Amino acid sequence: MDSRVEKHAEVIVDHSVAVEEGDNVVVSAPFVAEDLVVALYELLGERGANPTWWAGSDRAKRALLMASDPDEFSAPEHVEAAVKEADVFINIRASENTNETGDVPPEINTAYRQARQDIREEIMGSRWVLTQYPASGHAQKAEMSTEAYEEFVWDAVSKDWEEQRELQEKMVEILDPADEVRIQSGETTDITMSIDGMITANDYAKRNLPGGEVFTAPVPDSVEGVVYFDKPLMAQGREVEGVRLEFSEGEVVDHSAEKNEEVLTQVLETDPGARRLGELGIGMNRDIDEFTYNMLFDEKMGDTVHLALGRAYDKNVGENQEQNDSAIHMDMIVDMSEDSYIEVDGKVVQRNGTFFWED
């Protein structure tokens, strides 16, 4: 067993989800991540927890989706029942082909997601973590050898998360009491939003491993302006590139994409909340220093901002504020490394990717 895998398992069990004796644990992972699951099972056994492994197979999922009648999707009672009794969810992403579900029609994906929304919400109300195991598919996506990608992933997860938490707390203290945020980048992005009454969260690898962002929710009807997302995103197994969104009174009033625009259109039509923003995130992890076309990593980079269409996280929404609700939550990234700034209540907190305290 690679000692980096054992370290990864330790961070998950002891830091991210803090497993306790008697915890009922669900591990969701494709088989290519078996080494990490074996390392987890050993630790979970030592801690007196009860794990079960749900196989994440994109091939099987594709076969099901392609054969099903999307009007008949429902939340399976046996999965719901298990989710209700589980205390901890460890979701391991890994792939040997990131396009494995790429030919499933978007409307089928959407129907499937909608049918399972209650299950997702139940999970998000528990202790959960999403992490990555380095396999060939995401390595290819990142234009890396699997060997180099392993190093990239395991370096990123085995960080001093307490130190990272402290660094990020600076930004939490700026955003949490603030009202207006403006994101400006080149000729293509100039967007403002209110975060008044919202709660800024500090992600130091509790729910995402690697962590490394602070995030909050925009007031749903406050978003105004235009944003162009520099980096492609994967939606419904397909790559959507060059997304441009125009907002008025919080709603997407115009949209386009340079590649797979129909996927974007489908996402926006999921439900009314899919046309509004549910998250504003600021990447602050300086150890992630290259784009790998994987949101879990890219959105944490120190010179990026991300906005998500769809559902806002419960913890970001203040008592007297409206929570944007949707079956989707789709993150999109703005590269802030050049000709860009983040302004909070009129003060520039980051310019060209450099935070003011880094100057």
Interaction site with a second copy (CB under 8 A): 22, 24, 26, 29-31, 34, 37-39, 41-46, 48, 50-55, 57, 59-61, 63-69, 72, 74, 76-86
Of 82 and 130, nearer to a second copy (C-beta) is: 82
Give the shortest CB-128-to-a second copy separation in angstroms: 14
Amino acid identity, position 281? G
Of 66 and 253, nearer to a second copy (C-beta) is: 66
Of 88 and 301, nearer to a second copy (C-beta) is: 88
Give the shortest CB-20-to-a second copy separation in angstroms: 13
Give the shortest CB-215-to-a second copy separation in angstroms: 29
CB 95 within 8 A of CB 138: yes
Of 65 and 334, nearer to a second copy (C-beta) is: 65
Burial bucket for residue 218 (CB in 10 Å: 0-12, 13-18, 19+): buried
Of 94 and 349, nearer to a second copy (C-beta) is: 94
Pairing of strands 24-29, 50-55: parallel
Of 6 and 241, nearer to a second copy (C-beta) is: 6
Give the end-to-end CA distance of the chain in Å, rounded to a whole number.
43
Mention every residue, 6+ apart, whose C-beta is less than 8 A from residue 208.
Answer: 129, 130, 131, 296, 300
Measured on CA atoms in the order 54, 59, 63, 66, is the torsion positive or negative? positive
Give the shortest CB-271-to-a second copy separation in angstroms: 22
Nearest to 39 by CA among 72, 13, 68: 13
Strand partners, 124: none
Structure token digits, residue 32: 């290519």
Of 100 and 279, nearer to a second copy (C-beta) is: 100
Give the shortest CB-33-to-a second copy separation in angstroms: 10
Give the shortest CB-24-to-a second copy separation in angstroms: 4
Residue 55 phi, psi dihedral angles, 5° rounding: -75, 120
Strand partners, 181: 193, 344
CB 224 within 8 A of CB 247: yes
**Rounded CA gap, 226 and 29, in Å?**
38
Give the shortest CB-122-to-a second copy separation in angstroms: 12
